[in-house]
Amino acid sequence: MALLQIKNLSHYFGGLLAVDNLNEEIREGELIGLIGPNGAGKTTVFNLVTGVYRPTQGDIIFQGQSLVGKSPHTINALGISRTFQTIRLWNMMSVLDNVRIAHHSRISYNLAEAFLHLPRYRHQEREIEERSMELLRLFKLERYAHEPVKNLPYGEQRRVEIVRALASRPRLLLLDEPAAGMNPREIGALMEFIHWIRDEFHLTIWLIEHQMRLVMNICERIKVLDFGATIADGTPEEIRNNPKVIEAYLGEQAEVH
């Protein structure tokens, strides 16, 4: 059974058709890509899946359960987590606190327990701090733990955002242009990194990307959107040779590695 199943999904912004009858089936453990020119509706798809928007039509089923109408925090708790096209960390807070917040849905102590410092509160807060530090260590970010996020270099902020997304223990991770603003060498490292987190955390990863090299190299399957509609779907090899894709997205002078 598919982990995530999208059926005839359409979304309008007023009269504008942003997503046009999208169908997708993502199986457990897959690493797949969503590409398309600017304004093709890629981020809108992520916003629909994570509950930021409610779809005009169609259904989104995650582990057998429909996500339509569920609030973003419920969907996060069910096991879908994401990063953002432009980094949306809490800049003034420390790296550690950014990661801690993402544990929110996994914490069960109540207000009275916190007020009175009862064992369950102390225990859970300590556990979360330890787990957050462990995650930061795993990503070699522990030396920044108490640093406000805004002081970190751009590339490290991107990594913190991924760590934060992993903190809620997702089964499906949505990466919205993880390579945005990175140079070719950084992209090389990022590709290994994405592979590594999928294996390490037993994740399914769906990513949006503009960098063709990244998508072509790591995705097992790619879907191409143009003006909200699916124009191609297949392995990187098939996408590379699809004339519709070359016309709509890659343009004549585009180079595909």
Q: Using CB under 8 A, list all residues that contact other proteins.
A: 50-52, 71-73, 76-77, 81-82, 84, 88-93, 97, 100-107, 109, 111, 114-115, 117, 121, 125, 164, 168
Residue among 36, 32, 4 at smallest CA distance from 20: 36
Q: Which is nearer to other proteins, 122 or 137 (CB)?
A: 122
Instruction: Give the contacts of 253 (CB within 8 A, at least 6 positions apart).
Output: none
Cβ 76 to other proteins shortest distance, Å:
4
Q: Which is nearer to other proteins, 76 or 242 (CB)?
A: 76
Render the chain in DSSP notation, one character per residue: --SEEEEEEEEEETTEEEEEEEEEEE-TT-EEEEE-STTSSHHHHHHHHTTSS--SEEEEEETTEE-TT--HHHHHHHTEEE--SS----TTSBHHHHHHHTTGGG----HHHHHTT-HHHHHHHHHHHHHHHHHHHHTT-GGGTTSBGGGS-HHHHHHHHHHHHHHT--SEEEEESTTTT--HHHHHHHHHHHHHHHHHHT-EEEEE-S-HHHHHHH-SEEEEEETTEEEEEE-HHHHHT-HHHIIIII-SS----
Cβ 241 to other proteins shortest distance, Å:
36
Q: Which is nearer to other proteins, 89 or 239 (CB)?
A: 89
Cβ 254 to other proteins shortest distance, Å:
33
Instruction: Give the contacts of 10 (CB within 8 A, at least 6 positions apart).
Output: 17, 19, 20, 21, 22, 55, 56, 57, 58, 228
Q: Which is nearer to other proteins, 136 or 239 (CB)?
A: 136
Q: Which is nearer to other proteins, 80 or 197 (CB)?
A: 80
Cβ 173 to other proteins shortest distance, Å:
12
Cβ 77 to other proteins shortest distance, Å:
5
Q: Which is nearer to other proteins, 87 or 231 (CB)?
A: 87
Cβ 128 to other proteins shortest distance, Å:
8
Q: Which is nearer to other proteins, 61 or 101 (CB)?
A: 101
Cβ 211 to other proteins shortest distance, Å:
23
